[in-house]
Structure 1
Amino acid sequence: MEFEAVIRARIRGLRLARGWSLDVLAARCAMSPSTLSRLETGHRRIAIDQLVPIARALGTTIDELVEVARDDDVVIKPRRNAAHGHTTWLLTREDAPNGLVVAKMRITAKTRRGSLGVHPGHEWFTVLSGTARLHLGDRVVLVEEGESAQFSTMEPHAITAPDGPVEIIVVLDREGRRTHLDA
């Protein structure tokens, strides 16, 4: 029953956030206002076939309405990797349904160590502070504060910090996550 209470609160919260009355949401999901009211207040059990039109009307998905709350810590703690000269803060869950992971990275490595990495996928990053040196095969591209870069990760690549620490926001696909964050 607590699970249903979470769903009820989400429906009511989304409705109120849009500034909609019960009548407006009821009309959008082809239900009577009294049925919707009883669903929100717990005087009627929620059926899965009712969630589909409600979710659609609210511009969300059933998955988001029924998502189980986690007890994970809400504080994002850094992961330090001294061997590769960077610290990472994961900004999305590692099991994000779309497979993309967003992370903030602080890179302190001044020179490239070892070989350039290669893996399937694409990578995107924006420099928050400092200047990043992006090694792409034989090319070296300086990416300055406020600039972004995107590239195929099938190109041998590495990001270093030639003039002191650099902080970036990076978007990685599944392969990039495995390569850069799980190494």
Structure 2
Amino acid sequence: MSRTGEDVLAGVGPRLRALRRARGATLKDLATETGLTPSTLSRLENGKLRPTLEQLLPLARAHGVPLDDLVAAPPTGDPRIHLRPVRRSGLVLVPLTRRAGGVQAYKVIHPPAGRAPTMDPQTHEGYEWFYVLNGQVRLVLGEQEFRLGPGEAAEFDTRVPHWIGSAGSEPAELLTLFGPQGERAHLPASGA
């Protein structure tokens, strides 16, 4: 096996331990879920046992991660983005970009107005642009308030106190671009 292959397998144990601990599971709990013995799981986590596909498949299922994540497989050049929604402060955020830094794109789903978090305007470095895909959106920007519907967009400096939420009884879905200070969404001039 190549040195790279050995390095990949050597990193599996610490990733398995971190995933198990993040879930708050014991070796015994994981053994029940996977059909592997606690001793085998311990030896895998400590790097004393080289993992096999037959061991990794039930572990990936139990932890709810792709097999590629367990072995830290290198990128294959696949341009597709594998969406992994995140719930934060009552919102569902679906990252649409996977590189760090620069402009980040998200699909953001705001809960209906009656179930939204309380309005608490925030400020932070950066610049934000959003486009309303579905629903009605309420944007509070400084002392001003705006209502936007499907097909409308807004762009603002995030150092201005702001709050975004659903303005209706249905969830509001937005396509959001967020970038470091000074970056803005630009459209080419007509004819360009």
User: What TM-score do you get using the length of structure 1 for normalisation?
Assistant: 0.51
CA distance in 1, matches of 2:145, 2:136: 12
**Corresponding letter in the other structure for 1:75:** H
Residues 1-183 of structure 1: matches in 2 within 5 Å? 69=76, 74-81=81-88, 84-96=89-101, 99-108=102-111, 110=113, 113=118, 115-163=120-168, 164-174=170-180
DSSP-derived class of the 1:106 partner: strand
CA distance in 1, matches of 2:79, 2:153: 31
**Corresponding letter in the other structure for 2:163:** A
What are the superposed Cα offsets for residues 18-63 of structure 1, whole Å, 9 maximum, x if unpaired? xxxxxxxxxxxxxxxxxxxxxxxxxxxxxxxxxxxxxxxxxxxxxx
Paired residues in the alignment total: 105
Moved more, 126-135 or 113-122: 113-122
CA distance in 2, matches of 1:158, 1:118: 9
Structure 1 residue 138, shift from structure 2 partner = 1.8
- Structure 1: stretches of 5+ with no match in the other structure: 1-67, 176-183
Contact 2:94–2:106 under 8 Å retained in 1: yes
Say if 1:74 and 1:147 are closer, same or farther in 2 by CA, change over 3 A: closer
- Structure 2: stretches of 5+ with no match in the other structure: 1-74, 182-192
Structure 1 residue 115, shift from structure 2 partner = 2.6
What are the superposed Cα offsets for residues 104-143 of structure 1, whole Å, 9 maximum, x if unpaired? 0100152552531101221000000011100111211001
CA distance in 2, matches of 1:109, 1:95: 31
Contact 1:86–1:109 under 8 Å retained in 2: no
Moved more, 71-80 or 120-129: 71-80
CA distance in 1, matches of 2:118, 2:99: 26
Contact 2:140–2:164 under 8 Å retained in 1: yes
Q: What percentage of aligned pairs have identical amino acids? A: 30
User: What TM-score do you get using the length of structure 2 for normalisation?
Assistant: 0.48
Structure 1 residue 154, shift from structure 2 partner = 1.1
CA distance in 2, matches of 1:140, 1:148: 14
